[in-house]
Chain A
Amino acid sequence: MSLLWLLRRLAGLVLALAAASAVVFILMDLLPGDPAEIMLGTNARPDTLAALRAEMGLDRPALIRYADWALGLLRGDFGRSLTYSVPVAELVWERLAVTLPLAVMAIALTLLIALPLGAMAAARRNSLTDSTIVAITQLGVAIPNFWFAMMLVLVFAISWRWLPSGGFPGWSAGPSAFLALILPAIALALPQAAILTRVMRSSLLETLGEDYVRTARAKGLTRSEALRRHAFRNALIPVLTILGLQFSFLIAGTVVIENVFSLPGLGRLVFQAINQRDLVVVRSVVMLLIGSIIIVNFCVDLAYALVDPRLRGRA
C-alpha cells in the first residue's frame, strides 16, 4: 500500500470529519434559533437566560463558537453538561464502558452467525438447509430490533427468568454485568446477522460460479477445498462493504436498544439529554457517533486494500 495512497485517504477522512462537525453545528446550533432559550424553555427568567448565554458563549460570532467547539472535541473537551453539571467527556467515558462492549459483542455475534450460515447455505444451494436458512433470514430482516428485544425480555426475563430484563449493575458486579448485556447484544445482532447471512450467501454463490473456481476444480481440488481456498476470501469483499454500511445501523440500533433495556450507555445518555433539552450533551454525543461511523468506514476502506491486492498497487 503506497504511502501517497494512505495520505490521500487520511486527508479524505479529515475532510469528512470536518464536514460532519460543521453539519452537526449548523443543524443544532445555528438554525433552530437560541439554544439557551431551547434549553430553559420560553418562560425562563431573563437573567438566567442571559447567564446561560454567557456561559455557553452565545454572545460570540457563530464561526468562533464553531471553532471553539470543534477544537475542543479534538482536545477531548466536549463541553459541560447543564443537567449533570459535569464535563460531557466524563459522562461519555463512563457510558462508553457499556456501549463499546455491547457494540463489540453485537458485531462478533453477527459475524459468528452470518459467515458460517451464509457459507453453509451457499455450499448446499437449493437443499433443505439452504431454503431453511433463506426463510429464517427473510424473517430476521423483517423484525425490528427493539421489538425483538421486547420479545426476548418477555420470554427470557419475564416468563423464564433466566436473564435480567434490563438495567446494568456495573462492571464491578462481575459476571452479572456480562449477563445484562446478553439479551441486548442478541437483539442488536439478529437483524444484522440476517442481512449479512444473505449477503454472504449470494456473494459466495457468485464467486462459486467464477472461472477461477472452475480452474481450481480442474487442478484437482474438491468442491469444498475450492470453496475454502478460492471462493471464500473473494466472497468476503462484498461482505466487508455491507459490514461497513451496517455499522451505522448498529449505532442507531444501540441508541434504541439501550433504551429498551435501560442500559446506561451513550444511547441512553443522548436520549435522556434530548428530553432534558441538554443540547451540549446531545450535540457532542451525536458528533461522536457520526464520527465513529466515518472512522469505521475509513477502516473498512483500508481493510479492502489488505484483502484485495488489486487495490494495493505496487509502490
Chain B
Amino acid sequence: MISGARNNPALTHPSLWIGAAMTACVVLLALIALVWTPQDPTAMEMAKRLQTPSAAHWLGTDRFGRDVLSMAMAGAAISLQVSFVAIAFGMAIGVPLGLFAAMRGGTLDEAVMRVSDFVFAFPALLTAIMLRELFGPGALNAMIAIGIFNVPVFARVTYGAALSIKTRDFVTASRLAGKSEMRIALDHVLPNVLPLLIVQATIQLSLGILAEAALSYMGLGVQPPAPSWGRMLNDAQTLMAIAPRLALVPGLCIVFTVLGLNLLGDGLRDWLDPRLRRRQA
C-alpha cells in the first residue's frame, strides 16, 4: 500500500516533500560547512567591519569584519549537531524507559512516569543555568540541558504507544507462541512504535534548534569565537539600528530550518498515521 503511484508520498502529502527538501538543504549546507566555508568564520578583520553584501562577502560582514555567510553556514553545522546529539540522548534514555515501563506495568510503570512528569518542570534554559557551573558554558552544556528535557518526551510517547500496542491481540498471540516479554517488546512493540518516534524526533529536532539558539543567545551555549545563530543574534542586537541585516540572516536561518523540520514532521505523521492509512486501504 505504501508503494504504488496512488500513494506516492510526494503526491499525496506536499508538506512531506517540501519539508524534506528544506531540511535536506540545511543539512547539506551544514555538511559543507564542516569541511569548507567561503571564508574562515572566526577570522576578524577590523578593516572590513560592517560591510554590506558584495561579491567577496555575499551577506556582508559583522562588526568584527567576519564573513556573515560563513558564520551562518558554520552556525547551521553547530546548531544541527547540538540538537541531533540532544535528541539522540533523549531517545537513548527515554525510549527504553518508556518501553520498559509499558511492558512491566505496575508500581514501576507508575514511578517511571511520575519521574518523567517531574522532569517536564525543568525547561532546558533553567537546566542549562544550573549545569553551567558543572560543565561550564558551551555546546556540551546545551546538549545535556536540551537532552534532559527530551528524555520524558520520548518516554511518554513510547509509553503511550506501547501501552496501546500491548493490548492488541497479536501481542497476546506472541506470548502464546512462547516468546518472552523482552522478545515481544523488540519483535512487535518497538517496530510498531517506531513511526511515531520518527515523527516525534523530527518535531523535537526543531524544538532543539530553537532551544539551542536561545541558549547561545543567552551565552549559555556555544561560546565565542565558535559561530552560532544565537550568538550572532546577540551580537546583532546592539547594531539593530545601523545593520538590521545582521539580525535578519541568522533569524531567517532558524525560521527556515525549524519550518522545514516541522513540515517534514507533519508530512510524516500524515503519511504514517494508521487511521489515515486505513481510510486509504
Chain B: minimal CB distance from A75 (Å) = 23
- In the complex, A122 Cα to B123 Cα: how many Å? 31
Of chain A, the residue at the smallest CB distance from B136 is A32
- With a CB–CB cut-off of 8 A, which chain B residues contact A96? none
Among B68-76, B85-93, B126-134, B187-195, the stretch that binds chain A is B126-134
Q: Does A153 contact B (CB under 8 A)?
A: yes
The reply to whether A144 and B213 form a contact with Cβ atoms under 8 Å apart is: yes
**B-side interface residues, number (CB < 8 Å):** 38
Task: State A294–B125 Cα separation when bound (angstroms).
Answer: 16
Which of B120, B219, B251, B262 lies in contact with A138, CB distance below 8 A? Answer: B262
Q: Which of A2-31 contact B (CB under 8 A)?
A: 16, 19-20, 23-24, 27-28, 31
Contact between chains at B126 and A286 (CB < 8 Å):
yes
> Is B258 a contact partner of A297 (Cβ separation < 8 A)?
no
The closest CB in chain A to the CB of B252 belongs to: A147
- Pair count A-B, CB < 8 A: 109
DSSP class of B's interface residues: helix, strand, loop or mixed? helix
Bound-complex Cα distance A147 to B255 (A): 10
Q: Are A256 and B262 in contact (CB under 8 A)?
A: no
| Given A252-B124, A290-B126: A19 and B118 interface contact (C-beta under 8 Å) | yes
CB of A69, distance to nearest CB on chain B (Å): 14
B121 in complex: contacting residue of A138, A145, A151, A290, CB < 8 Å: A290
Contact stretch, chosen from A211-219, A243-251, A307-315: A243-251
Interface size, A (range): 35 or more
| Closest Cβ neighbor of A271 among chain B residues | B218
Query: Chain B residues in contact with chain A, CB under 8 A?
Result: 118, 120-126, 129-134, 206, 210, 213-214, 217-220, 233, 236-237, 240-241, 244, 247, 250-251, 254-255, 258-259, 262-263, 266
Q: List 12 A-B contacts (CB under 8 A).
A: A23-B122, A27-B131, A27-B134, A28-B133, A33-B133, A144-B214, A147-B251, A150-B237, A154-B240, A255-B126, A255-B218, A286-B129
